Amino acid sequence: MIYELSNPVTKTLVTHLRDQRRDAIRFRHTVAELTKQLVYEALKDFPLIEKEIVPWQGDGIFSTIDEENIVVVTVLRAGLPMLDSVMELLPNAVAGFLAMKRDETTHESKLYYDRLPDCKGKNILLVDPMVATGGSMNDALELIKTKKPKRIIALNIIGSPEGLEAVSSAHKDVDIYIAQIDERLDENKYIIPGLGDAGDRAYNTLE
């Protein structure tokens, strides 16, 4: 299933991101804020476990998400601010890294780094701001599935209808939470209106 956030604050932050004048530090900060909104929505019905902690008064068993059973997988580079944001909310989660680069001629993604931790039986949060053709997400999902996770939830900021259809039809078992679904892809497979190249904007490599 695809869940698009509808909160006016979400729309406002996405509009900030689209603005070319948003510099790299504010771009990453806004991506991080949107990621927190996606996490709250995606985990709103997540099961809680009881955990013993040392409270200020007496003994205590309290409810918590089983953070250690969550693996947050990011797709470099543009996914990095999203990973940092999830790890701020769930500091005991485990982080995994994939690096992919879209070939800007063929528009196909190429994996060049894989540092996935043990995913067996774990809940995976896969974070990447952009779903353009959906190629990067599909490759990442295929790779993660070889590691036998329990469940995968994707968190994305912006996607094209074409890319989201490609991902959701190939991976019907994956829930996708996205801040905004845009209009379409252009002839270079960029999202319209989109926000440009998210990796370049986040890390000052725009030419």
Q: Residue numbers of the site for ligand PRP (CB under 6 A)? A: 75-78, 100-102, 107, 109, 128-136, 163, 189, 197-200
| Shortest spacing between CB 198 and ligand PRP, in angstroms | 5
35: nearest Cα among 1, 72, 69? 72
H/E segment holding residue 145 = helix 135-145
- Contact partner at residue 22 from ligand PRP, ligand URA, none, CB < 5 to 8 Å by partner kind: none
Separation in Å, CA 187 to CA 67, 82, 190, 200: 41, 28, 7, 20
- Contact partner at residue 190 from ligand PRP, ligand URA, none, CB < 5 to 8 Å by partner kind: ligand URA
- Contact partner at residue 135 from ligand URA, ligand PRP, none, CB < 5 to 8 Å by partner kind: ligand PRP
Binding site residues, ligand URA, CB under 6 A: 78, 130, 132, 190-191, 194, 197-199
Counting Cβ atoms within 10 Å, is residue 180 exposed (0-12), middle (13-18) or buried (19+)?
Answer: buried
Q: Which is nearer to ligand PRP, 65 or 73 (CB)?
A: 73
Q: Which is nearer to ligand URA, 37 or 109 (CB)?
A: 109
| Shortest spacing between CB 80 and ligand PRP, in angstroms | 8
**Helices 24-42 + 8-18 axis angle, to 10:** 150
- Both tokens of 16, joined, read 């900030």
